[in-house]
Amino acid sequence: MTEDRIERETLIAASLERVWSLVTEPGFWVADEATVSGLVAREGESTVAKNAEYGDFPVRVEKIEPPTYVAYRWASAFPGERPREDNSTLVEFTLTSEGDKTRLRVVESGFAALAGSEELRGRALKDNTDGWPQVIDALKTRAEHSSV
């Protein structure tokens, strides 16, 4: 059975408001930065995160609780497909203030429910497990080294 979730967290030397402004750009974790910069997540809305290397990924905003929680659904294992229950995972970002820093927690879940083969589910989990450290490092750099 495929594992079902990826969990990561980091402490970012930036304000909660700054980190919130970045995690509420729908699809920022997969999109080329220019395609999401300036977009703001709105619950129930969808957008397409465009990535020159990996393809286009429709992303739906599932839930927002400003300024500490936002959840998205995307079909990482099925580029170009709109997220459905059987082809997508849920990506949740939770922010917590720690003095003048912000703790970011990322949880991506739903791999075990993906349609297709066990091999496809395992590959999706591995690809995303390998990708999150890079995404989190890039987000941390953006938050710590640029202004709002």
pLDDT in tens, 18-33: 999 999 999 999 998 8
Mean pLDDT in the chain?
93
The whole-number average pLDDT for the span 119-145 is 95
Best CA proximity match to 113, nearest among 97, 105, 103, 124? 124
Find the domain containing 46 and state its range: 5-145
For residues 112 and 25, the answer to whether their CB atoms sit within 8 Å is no
The answer to whether the predicted template modeling score (pTM) of the entire model surpasses 0.85 is yes
Rounded distance, CA 14 to CA 72, Å?
A: 23
Domain of 79, CATH number, reads 3.30.530.20
DSSP, res 118: H
* Average confidence (pLDDT) over 136-141: 96
- The one-letter amino acid code at 12 reads I
In the chain, the number of structural domains is 1
Question: What digits encode the pLDDT tens for the residues 75-85?
Answer: 999 989 999 99
